[in-house]
């Protein structure tokens, strides 16, 4: 009788135990399904599935990547961390402000020739060009030589790239640029051929160093008259041979067409560049940082801030042993105080932090080997750990075709920099200026140009302890750079008071800012016509 009394209790306890187990099992299954909705492992293509690419306007890039294998390098096997917006409505506004490009004021490219422009006149001879300098110095020089060939009625032979500069790059024109496209794109402007005709290979040729920053009169008079004695003219330098201002509008427009339309990179470079852009964009909006903290730049400029005595001595030796660098005795402190030195990686980190970029901002390092390597990059990396480069975004197998060719590697950096959401150069060298000009041409994309002279004064105060990092430093840096973000403006003329050659040398380079010659403002609705030149 006593046992019968406990039977219902036992049954109830058993039922409760089964129910608890069932609930626990269902809960566990629910969690599993929520976290792992599919047994499918993420593929490489899933990892790099990009958002709508409304910001990528490099539409010339080929979609075919058959020349290389597309596989994820080890460092990109995991999906990148998302960019987190700052908390609160004010945080969202600040986040958008960091990435928002300046107002373009409806400026668009208008580099088509005028109605008076005609097909090239009958060629009077052949122009041979030996370019000089790095990639962007050569690019600017080639575009100038296209204009010069038009002015003097010359047939332009595909230029020879510089193989003797600091980088010792053996690349030919067709290794870096799309040769056939270059020829066809300029067909209505200048006749371009790949090689000098065989019957002229041994002909006497005039070797001429064209004067720097020369106007149209110099070429029409002094150079064009050389056709009376020679069929072939060769120039050993191509950079800065043409004035920045006061040239016929059609010549200026031709320079723009040559630079931004005809001088396209070789197909495999453009394809690899597109791949790097896509992989960088998988991290979200990104900054391209042209960190000009390489051995050649520091040796040339004489900048030694933050370096050891041994490193400073090494750079001095390089400068003294480089014959074509004419300035040998440089005061590094004076250079830095005048703003003539590239920002150090540490200073760049302070700069970006002061501007308000959060620590998880993706940054593409467009540069060669940083002098001092990881030890010099550590303070920038501690602030911004997502530091990427072509070597990190692509595998060794993918980069192998470009290795050992400085111009081709620089071209990859150029593409990723032009397509970035924000471009920041640590120094205003040829690469920085060329990218800035291209971004202006493509719609005034955000380009923040550091005021190095002002920044040095602030950073020195921080180093001395008279100013702390925080709101005060940030407010000052933000204020200084409000008008240094790539908004439309006319190209700067010569510095007041300069004379002679220094007057032309002080002008802002044409390739830094193609406004007003190659950019026009869209008409207002009540104005007739296509564009209004500004």
Report yes or no: 177 and 209 within 8 Å, Cβ to Cβ: no
> Which stretch of DSSP H or E encloses residue 232?
strand 232-235
Looking at residue 324, what is its pLDDT?
Answer: 81
pLDDT over threshold 60, residue 502: yes
* Predicted model pTM: 0.83
If we measure between CA atoms, which residue out of 231, 274, 288 comes closest to residue 65?
274
Least confident of 70-84, 232-246, 405-419, 479-493: 70-84
Q: Which pLDDT band, with edges at 50, 70 and 90, does 83 fall under? A: low
Angle, CA 76 vertex, CA 70 and CA 77 arms, to 5°: 90
Report yes or no: 341 and 305 within 8 Å, Cβ to Cβ: yes
List, in sequence order, the alpha helices (H) in 156-207.
173-176, 179-185
Angle, CA 153 vertex, CA 206 and CA 184 arms, to 5°: 110
Looking at residue 96, what is its pLDDT?
Answer: 86
In this prediction, what percent of the chain has a pLDDT beyond 70? 80
Integer Cα distance of 186 and 19 in angstroms: 81
Looking at residue 291, what is its pLDDT?
Answer: 96
The 10 Å CB-count burial string (b at 16+, else e) for 358-397 is beebbbbbbbbebbbeeebbebbeebbebbbbbeebbbee
Q: Which pLDDT band, with edges at 50, 70 and 90, does 50 fall under? A: very low
Across the chain, mean pLDDT equals 85
Domains and CATH numbers, the chain: 125-261 (3.40.50), 267-495+503-512 (no CATH)
Looking at residue 185, what is its pLDDT?
Answer: 98
| pLDDT tens digit sequence for 458-492 | 999 999 999 999 999 999 999 999 999 999 999 99
pLDDT over threshold 70, residue 188: yes
pLDDT over threshold 50, residue 534: no
Least confident of 138-147, 226-235, 365-374: 365-374
| Residues 6+ positions from 308 with CB-CB distance below 8 Å | none
Tell me what the mean pLDDT of segment 501-522 comes to.
93
Looking at residue 94, what is its pLDDT?
Answer: 81
Least confident of 82-86, 107-111, 293-297, 307-311: 82-86
In this prediction, what percent of the chain has a pLDDT beyond 90? 72
Report yes or no: 416 and 280 within 8 Å, Cβ to Cβ: yes
Q: At residue 108, what are phi and psi to the nearest 5 degrees? A: -135, 160
């Amino acid at each position: 009788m006593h046992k019968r009394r406990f039977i219902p209790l036992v049954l109830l306890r058993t039922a409760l135990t089964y129910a608890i187990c069932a609930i626990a099992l269902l809960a566990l299954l629910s969690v599993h399904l929520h976290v792992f909705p599919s047994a499918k492992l993420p593929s490489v293509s899933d990892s790099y599935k990009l958002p709508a690419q409304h910001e990528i306007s490099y539409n010339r890039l080929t979609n075919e990547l058959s020349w290389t294998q597309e596989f994820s390098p080890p460092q990109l096997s995991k999906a990148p961390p998302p960019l987190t917006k700052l908390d609160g409505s004010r945080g969202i506004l600040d986040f958008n402000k960091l990435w928002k490009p300046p107002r373009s004021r409806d400026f668009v490219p208008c580099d088509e020739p005028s109605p008076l422009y005609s097909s090239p006149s009958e060629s009077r001879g052949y122009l041979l060009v030996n370019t000089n300098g790095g990639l962007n110095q050569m690019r600017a020089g080639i575009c100038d030589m296209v204009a010069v060939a038009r002015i003097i009625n010359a047939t332009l032979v595909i230029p020879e790239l510089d193989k003797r500069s600091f980088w010792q790059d053996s690349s030919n024109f067709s290794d870096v640029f799309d040769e056939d496209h270059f020829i066809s794109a300029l067909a209505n402007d200048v006749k371009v051929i790949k090689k000098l005709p065989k019957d002229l290979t041994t002909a006497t040729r005039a070797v001429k160093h064209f004067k720097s920053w020369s106007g149209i009169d110099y070429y029409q008079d002094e150079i064009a008259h050389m056709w009376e004695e020679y069929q072939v003219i060769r120039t050993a330098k191509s950079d800065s041979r043409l004035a920045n201002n006061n040239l016929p509008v059609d010549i200026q427009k031709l320079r723009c067409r040559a630079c931004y339309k005809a001088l396209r990179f070789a197909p495999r470079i453009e394809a690899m560049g597109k791949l790097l852009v896509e992989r960088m964009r998988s991290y979200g909006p990104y900054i391209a940082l042209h960190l000009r903290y390489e051995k050649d730049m520091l040796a040339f400029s004489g900048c030694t801030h933050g370096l050891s005595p041994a490193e400073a001595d090494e750079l001095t030796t390089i400068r003294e042993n480089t014959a074509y660098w004419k300035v040998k005795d440089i005061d590094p402190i004076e250079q830095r105080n005048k703003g003539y030195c590239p920002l150090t990686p540490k200073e760049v980190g302070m700069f970006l932090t002061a501007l308000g970029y959060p620590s998880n901002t993706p940054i593409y390092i467009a540069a060669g080997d940083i002098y001092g390597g990881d030890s010099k990059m550590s303070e920038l990396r501690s602030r911004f750990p997502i530091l990427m480069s072509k070597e990190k975004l692509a595998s060794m197998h993918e980069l192998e075709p470009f290795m050992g060719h400085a111009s081709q590697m620089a071209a990859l950096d150029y593409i990723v920099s032009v397509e970035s959401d924000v471009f920041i150069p640590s120094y205003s060298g040829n690469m920085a200026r060329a990218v800035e000009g291209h971004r202006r041409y493509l719609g005034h994309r955000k380009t923040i140009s550091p005021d190095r002279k002002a920044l040095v004064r602030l950073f020195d105060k921080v180093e001395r302890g008279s100013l702390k990092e925080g709101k005060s430093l940030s407010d000052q840096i933000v204020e200084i750079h409000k008008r240094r973000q790539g908004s439309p403006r006319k190209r700067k003329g010569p510095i007041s008071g300069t004379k002679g050659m220094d007057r032309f040398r002080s002008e802002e380079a044409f390739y830094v800012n193609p406004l007003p010659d190659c950019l026009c403002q869209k008409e207002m609705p009540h104005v007739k016509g296509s564009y209004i030149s500004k």
